[in-house]
Amino acid sequence: MAKILDGKQLSLTIRGEIADAVARLVSAGGKQPCLAAVLVGENPASQVYVRNKQKACEQAGIASRLARLPADISQARLLELITKLNADPAVHGILVQLPLPDQIAADTVLRAIDPAKDVDAFHPENVGLMVQGQPRFLPCTPHGVLQMLRRNAIETAGKHAVVIGRSDIVGKPMALLLAQRGWDATVTLAHSRTPDLPAVCRSADLLIAAVGKPEMVRGDWIKPGAAVIDVGINRTDSGLVGDVDYAAAEAVAGWITPVPGGVGPMTIAMLLANTLKAAGGESP
């Protein structure tokens, strides 16, 4: 049976470390870190995500602000708000919760955020710095996965990592980071056009699923003893499930993340870490 990688517990440990670092920063005369979240419209999942992020900030001693905007807001008005937040010295991190309504070009909005306050690390300048191995901030979900691997002493050097999914926010940066010096994995980035995905997955020592298809990865796709990281969050009639058939995978894998309680809470912890860093603190 696989060892369960408990992201909930680990994220609490990291959030405790961040709270200590915030307290040190403030007692040394630094400013209290502050995250400004921008929520457009009434998407229920987005509301939950933003609420959880704000709660986590408050527990770590990070101030949080929320700008709620109507779903029909114009792009120009949203950009005006970003400009104000960029100029506000009390705000260290800016987070625009995705997805945005159709009348707004998400790329344009994300590029308008001051890269020094871009705690989601989606701005092209921050993506470029990461690609060159000199990150200012790391994107939260891949960073959460790396922390999980490191703190559970899961070896990546010389291993074959297969990442399924090539989105800009999860799959692509995940693959890139694992291939970088220090992590030293040999990486395959798989996607919807990859032939014989089960065979590709069976060759993975480390399998990371970031697809958004409930339980797509079957037990017989997994190499015995592999580390299986399930990034997927899928709402089904039977509740939240990941991209991996957990029950079958658990019997074969060496390590596995549950959904919920795996990568999700780690993502939030790394958002706090980036906000602390943006305010001049030392992130864990």
Q: To the nearest 10°, report the CA torsion of 97, 136, 59, 111.
A: -20
Q: Is 24 annotated as a binding residue?
A: no
Instruction: Select which of 118, 120, 205, 243 is catalytic.
Output: 120
Least distance between ligand NDP and beta carbon 79 (Å): 24
Return the structure tokens found at 269: 């912890």
Binding residue for ligand NDP, selected from 162, 263, 270, 278, defined by CB under 6 A: 263
x-marked contacts with ligand NDP along 93-132 as a string, rule CB under 6 A: ----------------------------------------
In the list 121, 138, 227, 233, the residue contacting ligand NDP (rule: CB under 6 A) is 233
Q: Are 14 and 271 in contact (CB under 8 A)?
A: no
Choose among 180, 182, 188: nearest CA to 160: 188
Asked if 234 touches ligand NDP (CB under 6 A), the answer is yes
Element (H, E) at 65: strand 63-69
**Identity of the residue, 96 or 197, whose beta carbon is nearer to ligand NDP in the bound complex:** 197
Distances (CA, A) of 234 to 60, 213, 228, 247: 28, 7, 17, 16
DSSP tally for the chain: helices H, then strands E: 10, 11
Cis omega (within 30 of 0) for bond into 198: no
Which of 212, 219, 254, 261 is close enough to bind ligand NDP by CB under 6 A? Answer: 212
Residues, the chain: 284
DSSP state for residue 217 in the 8-state scheme: B
CB of 60 or CB of 233, closer to ligand NDP: 233
DSSP summary character for residue 260: S
CB 128 within 8 A of CB 134: no
- How far apart are CB 171 and ligand NDP at their closest, in Å? 5
Nearest Cα to Cα of residue 137 among 106, 116, 157: 116
**Contact mark string toward ligand NDP, 162..201, x via CB under 6 A:** --xxxx-xxx------------------xxxxx--x----
- Closest distance to ligand NDP from the beta carbon of 27 (Å): 32
167 is in an annotated binding site: yes
Please choose, out of 13-21, 72-80, 218-226, 229-237, the segment that lies near ligand NDP by the rule CB under 6 A: 229-237
Binding residues for NADP(+), by number, are 165-167, 233
Catalytic residue numbers?
A: 53, 97, 120
Contact residues for ligand NDP (CB under 6 A)? Answer: 141, 164-167, 169-171, 190-194, 197, 210-213, 231-234, 263-264, 267
